[in-house]
Amino acid sequence: MTGKEFYIDNFKIFQEKLNGESKSFLNEIRKDALKSLSELEFPTNKVEDWKYTNVTPILKQNFVPAVNASVPKITEKEIQSYLFQDFDCHLLVFINGLYSEELSIVGQLPKGAVAGSLRNLTKENPELLSKYLNKISITDNAFNALNTAYALDGLVVVVPDGIIIEKPIQVLYLNTNDKENVLSLPRNLVVAGKNSQVSIVANYRGAGEKIYFSNIITEVFADENSIVDLCKIQNETDDSFHIEKVQAIQKKNSVFNHYNITFGGSITRNDINSRLDGENIETHYYGLYMVNGKQHVDNHTFVDHAKPNCMSNEVYKGILDDSSRGVFNGKIIVRRDAQKTNAYQQNETILLSNKATIDTKPQLEIFADDVKCSHGATVGHLDETSEFYIRSRGVPQELAKSMLIRAFANDVIETVKIDPLKEQINHMIFEHLHRVEIKTE
């Protein structure tokens, strides 16, 4: 049985497991998605958007949807090493994409604010969910259809108008199974009301003996004047697969800051899309990927300027070692009405080995005449003059290289607003690249 048939077949088992839950509004969405899944093919290299990313290794395996698979027992102590530490936060934990009430610690939230699991909220507040869920993201491909067909659990954050959630929300998505290859399907929804503010740290981690596949959809709705920070740090196991689609819709005067930091995964594919549906919107995309071995990381970003006077700024930086491979495709559309748009995009890559490769492509489609757009891509090695400068002070070569790696990553790290998080990202860079760590202060 091929991947697709396997997933369609498993749907019956999934539905049986749902019992009462199958009567929710969500089940109609699932059934539609299952239909799409049966009609759609998984993307091949013939599809322009997937030209450089071959998903065959993912499709060769049959990953058991987490809800149909065995549930690993994880203790509170075990999750500590996966968490970002040293800052006060609300904590939500998902094991293989399924919410763990016991492991989560959600503190007092302002009145009306929600930080919880999709599964619980489908029961508790379906009216609220049905206003947004699956209304922001459309199904682009079979991976999206697969996520939606099995949509059961994931992060839901809803911030009412005028509310600021002070503490960041840390979401640990821990994928782990020692017995079977699992399909983890978080379905996330973030809704920020007018004049609201929220910051989310999405922490994707992997463990366990078996490989797994994370196939995620995150929908973000940023209403007027809201500020949404979504900081994704992905450190899946190096032989696992990770695909996420983020779709944001922004209303006037809103700010959306998306951070996309990749360490792990055998094949990683991110689609980060924002539709700027109002005036005076700001969108910032920061990306950083540090990969080695045979890792493959593909970032497709898309900023859709639909209205005038908005600005988007995108900085994506990659450090590629060994025979790793990077793909960057930055699409910007400036629609006819979107006059006075400022759109910037930069993709920089450092190759630490002669075998590492990057395919980088800007894709600008500009239909308005009064706009400022710029894009640039650079590919290079660590600068030898800089390395010489550092070594000339007595610093050994390996440490000098680490300093330059840190210097390169700085444009992105510097923008992270939670200081302890910066340090931990810094640490992860050197750990993942197996290089001497530079402790910064």
User: Which residues sit at the interface with other proteins, rule CB under 8 A?
Assistant: 383-386, 388-397, 399-400, 403-404, 406-407, 409-411, 413-414, 438-441
Strands (E), 241-295: 241-250, 255-262, 267-276, 282-291
- Least CB distance to other proteins at residue 423 (A): 12
Amino acid 317 reads: K
Q: Which uninterrupted H or E stretch holds 441?
A: none
SS percent in the chain: helix, strand, coil, step 5: 25, 40, 35
Provide, rounded to whole angstroms, the least separation between the CB of residue 111 and other proteins.
Answer: 41
Identity at 32, one-letter amino acid code: D
Query: Residue 167 or 422: which CB sits closer to other proteins?
Result: 422
Q: Which C-beta is closer to other proteins: that of 48 or that of 384?
A: 384
- Least CB distance to other proteins at residue 317 (A): 12
How far is residue 355 from each of residues 64, 326, 417, 441, measured CA to CA in Å?
34, 12, 34, 33
Structure tokens at 385: 């003059």
Nearer to other proteins, 275 or 317 (CB): 317
Of 342 and 415, nearer to other proteins (C-beta) is 415
Decide whether 335 or 391 has the Cβ nearer to other proteins.
391
Q: Which is nearer to other proteins, 226 or 426 (CB)?
A: 426
Smallest distance, other proteins to C-beta of residue 297, A: 21
CB of 316 to other proteins, least distance (A): 17
In DSSP terms, which residues pair with 119 in a beta bridge? none
Listed in sequence order, the residues at least 6 apart from 90 whose beta carbon sits closer than 8 Å to its beta carbon are 105, 106, 107, 109, 115, 165, 167, 168, 169, 170
Smallest distance, other proteins to C-beta of residue 404, A: 7
SS3 label, residue 128: helix
Query: Using CA atoms, how far apart are residues 347 and 299, in angstroms rounded to an integer?
Result: 11
Task: For the chain, give the number of residues.
Answer: 441
Sequence-ordered list of residues with C-beta below 8 angstroms from that of 83, at least 6 positions apart, any chain: 91, 170, 172, 203
Of the pair 30, 406, the CB lying nearest other proteins is at 406
Region for residue 109 given its phi and psi (left: phi exceeds 0; alpha: psi -120 to 50; beta: otherwise):
beta
d(CA 286, CA 150): 30
- Identify which of residues 309 and 386 has a Cβ nearer to other proteins in the complex: 386
Q: Are strands 282-291 and 241-250 parallel, antiparallel or unpaired?
A: unpaired
Query: Tokens standing for 279?
Result: 């005036």
Toward other proteins, which CB reaches closer, 201 or 403? 403
Q: Give min distance, CB of 386 to other proteins, in A.
A: 5
Distance (Å, whole) CA 130 – CA 135: 8
Q: How far is the CB of 412 from other proteins (least distance, A)?
A: 10
> Shortest Cβ distance from residue 413 to other proteins (Å)?
7
The token duo for 396 is 């050994």
